[in-house]
A and B are shown apart, each in its own frame.
Chain A
Amino acid sequence: MVDVGTESDLLRWIPLLPLLVAAYHGISIGVLRRPTVPRVAAIFSCAAVLLSFVLACIALRDLLALPPDSRMLVDDIYTWIGAGIGSRALSAEVSFQLDPLSAVMTLVVTFVGSMIHIYSIGYMEDDHRDDKGTQRFFCYLNLFTFSMLVLVLGDNLVLMFLGWEGVGLCSYLLIGFWYSDSWNAYCGSKAFIVNRIGDFGFLIGLFLLFNALSEIGHPAVSFAGIQAHFDGIVEMTIAVPAWMPFAPEWQLVNVIGLCFFLGACGKSAQIPLYVWLPDAMAGPTPVSALIHAATMVTAGVYMVCRLSFLYAAAPEASAVIAWTGAITALVAATIAITQNDIKKVLAYSTVSQLGYMFLAAGCGGYTAAIFHLGTHAFFKGLLFLAAGAVILAMHHEQDMRKMGGLWRRLRMTRWVFFAGVYAIAGFPPFSGFFSKDEILVAAWASHVPGHTWLYGIGMLTAGLTAFYMFRLWYLTFCGESRVPSDVLSHVKDPNGFVVNPLWVLAFFSVTAGLVGLPQIWGDLIGIEESNSLANFLKPVFAAGEPHHIAHSTEYWMAFWAVAIALSGTALAWLLYIKKPGVPDRIAATLSGLYRTLLNKYYIDELYDAVIVRPLVVFSDRVLYRIVDAGVIDGIGANGTAYGIRAVAANGLKYAQSGLAQNYIFFMIVGAVAIVGYLLR
């Protein structure tokens, strides 16, 4: 332990409350088999998360009472993995820490989480399927909240990994929640497996980092411990064969950084592992809002920021992050333009916004990344929930081509939705404007190779974002209604559980930007230290030395950002309100491009052809046929029928002699190989 921080027994209750309620739900369903009344169960869950939020606020107050340089609360519960054995003994604690970074994350998770929990009460009541399973739903939801809080509060990488896997698991359970649809189950599995690829990177990075630290005599997995001894491993390199790029040596921290970033790619849906997120929209809408927009998918960004000291020392890895983020932002935005499913648009928008956050983190703008993470949690959570309200009103219709003109019908939803659209499009003074602006400034000022290009991509994406968000807005709420008249007459605002949290979120979507008001605007209205978020987070992050940017440049950048957002909006207005026929004509003219975008660049098909199918074929044709040839059990019925026939016809004789001989033959081959090797 390096910097112990102030003890606080409060912290453990923040994640434990949701866990306890989840356990209660689990026991009541699985063991007692007496489900609680849905409303009561839901209220338990909401109360737990709200209480966690209150506790987080109290913890924040305690944290703020400390001097800025030693703002750290810790709650050491017990030693999870014991001191181990041998010279490189590893010890991991179950221990929570609250520093400014985790404080921000915890507040976002518990606050947005409790809003979404409340929303879920209303949303799930509308679920008219056979197995409502409300309690099961809230059980998973609480379990998710617990895991997410462990992830952000954990003081070491192993504990973080526990939360990391936990949120993945819950996300998988929740995506597949409405299992009457086998597509949902498929999507859930896909999300989980793609995430596991990322976890592979996380684990390898963890092991490499630990190995390097124990080589210099400081085996540690806690963030404080790693950071304290990190200087010792910065210069380490690993030798690679000459044919590999950048031979003969790789800087170790770059490799570790990239491994962790692979993990972040999986969780935060970045290229090449973003494919699961759009499919994850198969889950209930509150889940999409909570997990796949506001909290879980930002875990990767959180991790990169948490390891900022590592990435600050690994410029190449940071550059990869920045470029991956920028390209993901652009690609996802282009796909979002063509999607017709309201949730799909929001999903690709999430991927795109997460790309923004990585762009910022890669450029060293960790504060900007976290800032955008927070504002995005508000406005994207809001957008998803509002979209859920629309979907509820439309009786589970998600296709925007069958909407339109809902402005007159959804009298409350329209306002909150508009707030969300306005915020994400980046118009001042809504929150999205400030956080996006800060990212663009960070990109401009960074030392990443091609940083001006990154800025350009960021600007372009900002324009696209405004375009597709207003496209969504116009298609859904404005213009002529394309809703069948029998449905239209029933369209109305959902109940209070659904609408009230939206107002709260809308309020924060509008105002949250003010906590991170950039200094240039602060100067304008005469506030010193206006960017309170940045000042709060400053002790956590490794300080880089970005290019200096003149204030006038920053004003110009803000101006151009607004201008491009405006032009995106104008274009959307032109195409979808003024001349509604034009988009189809464009699609027809550029049919190749359009179809490529509509089919998401055929990435799913590509992965299927390149990875999934070869693996299955290899397993089936090669290993199954050759290595385990003659095994009776088969995929199809053929093998089985053959086996049983053989047994029936010849008694045991046939099956025996054949297979046993084969097996023994392989054993002999193995034995010869081993003996031969030993005698070499």
Chain B
Amino acid sequence: MIPAPDLNLSVLLPIILVAIGSMTILMGEVLLSRADTVLGREVTESFIGTVLAGTAIFFFALTLWASGVAFAGGGVQVFNPDNPMYQLDPFSSFVTAVLALSALLSCALSITYLSELRINHGEYYALIMLSASGMMLMVAAVDLIAVFLGLELMSIPIYVLAGFDRRKLRSNESALKYFLIGSFASAILLYGMALLYGVSGGTSFEALRAGFDADNPMALVGLGLVVVGFAFKISMVPFHQWTPDVYEGAPSAVTAYMSVTVKVAAFATLIRLLAMAFGPLEASLETIFWVLSALTIVVGNIMAIIQENVKRMLAYSSIAHAGYLMIGLVTGTIEGYSAMIFYLIAYTFMNLGAFGVVVALANRGNDCERIASFAGLARTRPGLAAVMALFMLSLAGIPGTAGFMGKFKIFMAAVNSGDIWLLIIGVLMSVVSVYYYLRIPVLMYMREPEDESHRTEIASGEGAVLVVCALAVLALGLFPNRVPTLLFGDLDVLDWANRSVGMFFGG
């Protein structure tokens, strides 16, 4: 007879909800495709897709709500006190909420895009939900095993999603490439974890911290390899090269999803690892993060300048943003981490928005990918051009937008911990970044339209996502302390970011 462990199922609620959602979608598709009519409506392929997307959105909304409630409640809860692998605390519930929100928006963004490509299958949403559940596991993991499982559960669906458009060679290619290199990175990560286990005799963060010795070479190697594994996921130079290829090849809606959520999840996990497991070793990591951060900022920004494809440009821009985010890791202070969390939220909205515009411009499956094809958009589609300009300005860090607020907080954290040179590199490179971000508004507002027929009507899902992102970018830039919402009153996002990381510093 096995003694029943003292389990606390409610802690797992976010993941359970998402997992149930994915199963519902899988079964729902089978059931729906058998029926001829549902509630008097004819069952067509796009109808099924829309219903399933709605299901995904519903479950993500539930998850958002559940994690929001958990965050509001505060406190630390573990699933299994005997071996806490998964811990629901302010940090994990907050990041989970962010992930749920961005996954929700991605699903809404995908419906019409997928229908036009005629790949609006239920598996798509199921895979999105499965990978989201992996991310949620990862950010709440306090054990290397759970981290690794979460990472794989996050990655495998995304490998597949990158190749979801099976007829497009570039999509296939990007999936395969991502898979190959990703497996390699996972192997390195796992090797590092094994070494850490060998040194400390345990896989939990607590054991790692207890059994750690900053002079132990094997521990250092393990640490280094774990960092490499994560550096791949957040596309840090020189582990970034897959990024533009995969972002370009994957269907735009998938790129939107992965460019945002993977980064949020991986950075959050890294924060937790550093704060909870590697505390004593951080000093030795500081230089590494410093160099990686500087390299990432410089290479990302400069490479973005010469891109002619908007998805590649955004890929390099996302690399550059990873570099800015790294500054928070370099500081290692509560201020830096809090700035990172805020930056990640800002990045979520502006990047999702930018890719959302690319999705909305897709014309019968032909991704409107060339930067030149943005010419004259302000004339043909003024609303779309306006939000795109807003997202570009935000990515460039113009005050009044979320991007500025994020950069400002990150740079402020850098100054306060004395990293003046990193600050100078960061600010200088964000000056350079204006050059390529500005190209798109210039084309949209100051060129005549090309003879390219843009889809003239925007789908309701895409429109809603773009409006939400645009409003969020503005609100986070103008009132980060009191984002006005109709339903929930004013939201103090800055304070949330502080509170979520506060737990690592005994707050």
> Which A residues are closer than 8 A to B by beta carbons?
26, 29-31, 33, 78-82, 84-86, 88, 90, 131, 158, 161-162, 164-166, 169, 173, 176, 179-180, 182, 184-185, 188-189, 192-193, 196-197, 199-200, 203-204, 207-208, 210-211, 214, 615-616, 618-620, 623-624, 627-628, 631-633, 635, 647, 652, 655-656, 659-660, 662-664, 666-667, 669-671, 674-675, 677-679
Contacts and interface: CB of A to CB of B under 8 A. Distances in A.
A169 B169 contact: no
B386 A81 contact: no
Contacts of B248: 633
B442 A185 contact: yes
Contact of B494 (A81, A200, A624, A659): A81
Given A185-B442, A203-B427, A670-B228, A678 B223 contact: yes
Contacts of B424: 204
A189 B416 contact: no
B206 interface: no
Contacts of A162: 399-400
Residue from A82, A90, A667, A679 whose CB has the most chain B CB atoms within 10 Å: A667
Contacts of B75: none
Contacts, number: 209
Interface string B168-195: 0100110011001100110010000000
A30 B466 CA distance: 14
Contacts of B412: 84, 90, 207, 210
Contacts of A197: 431
A208 B415 contact: yes
Interface string B409-435: 101100110001001100110011011
A33 B379 CA distance: 11
Contacts of B454: none
B312 A633 contact: yes
Contacts of A78: 479, 481-482
B55 interface: no
B42 interface: no
A666 B188 CA distance: 14
A670 B224 CA distance: 10
Given A618-B302, A631-B245, A647 B224 contact: no
A399 B252 CA distance: 50
Contact of B445 (A176, A182, A624, A670): A176
B445 A173 contact: yes
A33 B382 CA distance: 8
Contact of B177 (A81, A88, A633, A660): A660
A182 B447 CA distance: 7
B438 interface: yes
A667 B184 contact: yes
A200 B446 contact: no
A349 B466 CA distance: 45
Interface stretch (B137-145, B146-154, B236-244): B236-244
Interface string B461-497: 0000000000000000011111000000000101100
A85 B442 contact: no
B284 interface: yes
B114 interface: no
Contacts of A679: 217, 220-221
A82 B423 contact: no
B177 A656 contact: yes
B62 interface: no
A169 B404 CA distance: 14
Given A197-B431, A652-B172, A88 B335 contact: yes
Contacts of B115: none
A663 B412 CA distance: 34
A200 B431 contact: yes
A204 to B, nearest CB: 6
Contacts of B239: 666-667, 670
13 contacts: A30-B382, A33-B382, A78-B481, A88-B416, A165-B404, A176-B442, A179-B448, A208-B420, A628-B244, A631-B244, A671-B224, A674-B224, A674-B288
Given A188-B442, A623-B302, 11 more contacts: A30-B386, A31-B383, A79-B481, A80-B481, A182-B446, A193-B434, A207-B411, A207-B423, A208-B415, A667-B181, A667-B232
Nearest to B478: A80
Report, nearest first, the 6 A-B pairs whose CB atoms are least far apart: A179-B446, A185-B446, A162-B399, A86-B335, A678-B220, A85-B498
Given A169-B393, A667-B228, A624 B303 contact: yes
A678 B481 contact: no
A633 B185 CA distance: 24
B4 interface: no
A85 to B, nearest CB: 4
B22 interface: no
Contacts of B288: 674, 677-678
A25 to B, nearest CB: 12
Contacts of A200: 427-428, 431
A141 to B, nearest CB: 15
B415 A211 contact: yes
A187 B499 CA distance: 46
A29 B382 contact: yes
Interface string B383-402: 10010000001000011100
Contacts of A627: 237-238, 241, 299, 303
Contacts of A624: 303, 306
B382 A666 contact: no
B390 to A, nearest CB: 11
A251 B407 CA distance: 27
Interface in B206-252: 217, 220-221, 223-225, 227-228, 231-232, 237-239, 241-242, 244-245, 248
B450 interface: no
Given A30-B386, A82-B480, A663-B181, A628 B241 contact: yes
A471 B382 CA distance: 45
A677 B480 contact: no
Contact of A678 (B172, B284, B400): B284
A298 to B, nearest CB: 20
B28 interface: no
Contacts of B393: 169
Nearest to A657: B180
A193 B239 CA distance: 30
A455 B232 CA distance: 61
Contact of B386 (A26, A79, A631, A663): A26
Nearest to B385: A30
Contacts of A173: 445
Contacts of A131: 379
B24 interface: no
A211 B176 CA distance: 48
B438 A165 contact: no
A662 B241 contact: yes
A193 B312 contact: no
Contacts of B427: 200, 203-204, 207
Contacts of A655: 173
A645 to B, nearest CB: 12
A207 B415 CA distance: 7
Interface in B26-66: none
B305 A85 contact: no
Contact of A176 (B181, B284, B446, B492): B446
Nearest to B369: A633
B393 to A, nearest CB: 7
Interface string B298-324: 010011011111001000000000000
Contact of B479 (A80, A88, A185, A635): A80
Contacts of B334: 85-86
Interface in B159-174: 169, 172-173
B217 A674 contact: no
Contact of B181 (A196, A631, A664, A669): A664
B261 interface: no
A250 B404 CA distance: 30
Nearest to B426: A203
A660 B245 CA distance: 10
B51 to A, nearest CB: 30
